[in-house]
Amino acid sequence: MQVHLGCGSKFIPGMTHVDIADFPHIDHQAKVEDLNFLEDNSCDLVYASHVLEHFGRFEYKTVLLEWFRVLRVGGVLRLAVPDFEACARLYYERGLEDGLSGLIGLICGGQRNLYDYHKMVFDETLLTRVLQDTGFQLVRRWNWREKVHAEIDDYSQAYLPHLDKENGTLMSLNIEAVK
């Protein structure tokens, strides 16, 4: 089983889709931090693109433990989160620019609905350490261009300037961890 958590409007064929919102392709309308409909050690892949940052600094570790619980040994947690290091670097170079898009959205969320707020920031060092502390054995970056869901334009492909995937800066920290 492969699970796409917090999928929103994005449909990836072959995955089980979980989101609190109601879309036609949703298999389980549920909170991604409570996967009680999934058995322990039942998933080969848990994919969460720009989801983990929606949990506060005292919440996200519990969420990771829940996602760890449903993965089988050898299963992969594939995460994408806004890359705070990349945000800080661009802020230092350019500031906030127009103040509405770009960096502010990556750091604070889009704020378009009740769930679209960011409560946590991550860089590679922090996220790697937390995943290892959770029990994951192997933590590594992943390249969105090399994954079966590469044709799905989600936030794992977030660039600034927006949509400039050839010359822009990748603003998503794409990390996967093996249980």
What single DSSP character describes residue 84? H
The residue segments making up the domain with residue 70 are 2-178
The pLDDT of residue 59 is: 98
CATH of the domain at 135: 3.40.50.150
Higher pLDDT among residues 95 and 158, named by residue: 158
**Count of domains forming the chain:** 1
The dihedral of CA 107, 158, 7, 140: what is its sign? negative
**pLDDT tens, residue by residue, 15-51:** 999 999 999 999 999 999 999 999 999 999 999 999 9
Mapped onto helix, strand or coil, the DSSP state of residue 2 is: strand
Identify the CA nearest to 42 among candidates 53, 28, 29, 55: 28
Assess contact for 129 and 177: CB atoms under 8 A: no
The pLDDT of residue 99 is: 60
The pLDDT of residue 100 is: 53
> Averaged over 165-169, what is the pLDDT?
95
Residue 117, token pair as written in the block? 């707020």
- For the chain, the average pLDDT equals 95
The pLDDT of residue 162 is: 85
Identify the CA nearest to 64 among candidates 51, 74, 97, 73: 51
> Averaged over 79-99, what is the pLDDT?
89
**pLDDT tens, residue by residue, 93-144:** 888 876 656 889 999 999 999 999 999 999 999 999 999 999 999 999 999 9
Residue 131, token pair as written in the block? 């995943």
Percent of the chain's residues with pLDDT above 70: 98
With bands split at pLDDT 50, 70 and 90, how would you rate the model's confidence at 56? very high
